[in-house]
Amino acid sequence: MPTFKVFRYDPGKNDLPYFQDYEVPDHKGMTVLEALYYILENLDPTLAFRSSCRMGVCGSCAMHIDGQYGLACETQVASLGNTITIRPLAHMKVIRDMVVDLDPFFAQYEAIKPYLIPKNAPGPREYAQTPRERKKLDILVDCILCAACYGSCPVVGTDEKYLGPHALLKALRFIDDSRDGNTNERLAFVANDSGIFRCHTIFNCQQVCPKDLDPTGAIGKLKMKSFWAKLTGKLKKSG
């Protein structure tokens, strides 16, 4: 029976966070999320953690599991040791236990104008996009906004204005979309003081992303694109 050492903290009530131990009877195929539900339902109804889909697609349950950022619902208990430490994502205010304040995370996502700004006016049919053009978006559109990358990034931890790996990945998703007509404005924006050049290429985000996306690579691409745009005089202002 593994022991879960679970981070507990209510800033309104506790001076400091602490860890609480729970013994959870495991079974074949049990996930960390199921273990947390076992605790809530049978051992301690005060535990707070987010979840919904339990199939790795809603992005609710990213946390720090035994030294690794990941999704609780996708992590098998059997893949971990006998003592399993659970903490919330870093760099965000803890509201209670595993629940952190995601407002800054979403504000940065919103800042990059995360919507198509079409090149052409829409007609009666779909914008034509070839499979080749669509393929460029392949992994970029799979982001579930789980914030695992954000929690793992030391730059996020030291510079609260930094746009963050999730927002920059999203920016590339639109820049690389053959239908979007806002490339230069987008490049100018991500090249601002809080943007791509703040990234120290530490690769944490690439390593932790549970969807195997590559925000580090995306930021690298954005750097090259904005560099090139500047050289060729397409970027008027550098923000």
Partner 1 sequence: MFYDVIIVGGGLAGMRAAIAAHDAGVKVGLVSKIHPVRSHSGAAQGGVNAALGNHPDGHDDTPERHAYDTIKGSDFLADQDAVDLMANMAPEIIIEFEHWGCPFSRYEDGSIAQRPFGGAGFPRTCYGADRTGLYMLHTCYEQVVKRNIDVLYEHFVTRLAVKNGRCTGVIALNLHTGEFESIAGNAVIFATGGSGRVYSINTTNAHASTGLGLAIPYWAGVALKDMEFIQFHPTGLEGSSILMTEGCRGEGGYLLNNRGERFMKNYVSEKIMELAPRDIVARSIQTEINEGRGFEDSFVHLDLRHLGEQKIKEKLPGIREICLKFKNIDPIKTPIPIHPANHYTMGGIDCDINGETSLEGFYAAGECACVSVHGANRLGGNSLLDTIVFGTQTGRYVAGKVKGMSQTVDTDALNDGLAIEKDRYGKLQSSEGKANPYDIRNDLSKVMNEKIGIFRNETDMKAAVNEIKMLKIKFENLRPIPDTGKFNYDFLWVTEIAGNLDTALAIATGALNRSESRGAHYRIDFNKRLDDEWLKHTLHTYHPSDPEITYKPVTMGKYEPEERKY
Residues that bind ligand SF4 (CB under 6 A): 143-149, 165-166, 169, 209, 211, 213, 215
Query: Do 11 and 102 meet the contact criterion of CB atoms below 8 Å apart?
Result: no
Binding mask 163-202 for partner 1 (x = CB under 8 A): -----------x--x-xx----------------------
Least separation in angstroms between residue 146's CB and ligand FES is 6
The burial of 41, by beta-carbon neighbours within 10 Å (0-12 exposed, 13-18 middle, 19 or more buried), is given as exposed
By the rule CB under 8 A, 57 interacts with partner 1: yes
Q: By CB under 6 A, name the one of 54, 113, 179, 234 that touches ligand FES.
A: 54
Burial of 89 (0-12, 13-18, 19+ CB in 10 A): buried
Cβ proximity to ligand FES: between 53 and 90 the closer is 53
51 part of the interface to ligand FES, by CB under 6 A: yes
For residue 53, state whether it binds partner 1 (rule: CB under 8 A): yes
**How, if at all, do strands 62-65 and 68-71 pair?**
antiparallel
- Give dist(CA 160, CA 22) in Å, integer: 34
SS3 of residue 69 by DSSP? strand
Q: Which two tokens stand for residue 16?
A: 């400091």
Neighbours of 53 (CB within 10 A): 14
Retrieve residue 138's tokens: 């392949």
Distances (CA, A) of 77 to 53, 90, 104: 18, 22, 31
Residue 68 makes contact with ligand FES by CB under 6 A: no
Q: Which amino acid is at 53?
A: C
166 binds, among partner 1, ligand FES, ligand SF4, none (CB under 5 to 8 A by kind): ligand SF4
14 near partner 1 (CB under 8 A):
no
How far apart (Å, rounded) are the C-alpha atoms in residues 199 and 218? 11
Should residue 14 be labelled a site residue for ligand FES when binding is judged by CB under 6 A? no
- The C-alpha angle 179, 137, 108, rounded to 5 degrees, equals 85
Q: Does position 224 bind partner 1 by CB under 8 A? A: no
Helix (H, G, I), strand (E, B) or coil at 35: helix
Q: Closer to partner 1 at the Cβ: 37 or 227?
A: 37
- Residues forming contacts to partner 1 in the complex (CB under 8 A) are 10, 12-13, 29, 31, 40-42, 45-60, 74, 95-97, 99, 102, 106, 110, 113-116, 118, 122, 124-131, 133-134, 137, 141-142, 144-145, 174, 177, 179-180
- Residues forming contacts to ligand FES in the complex (CB under 6 A) are 51-54, 56-61, 71, 73
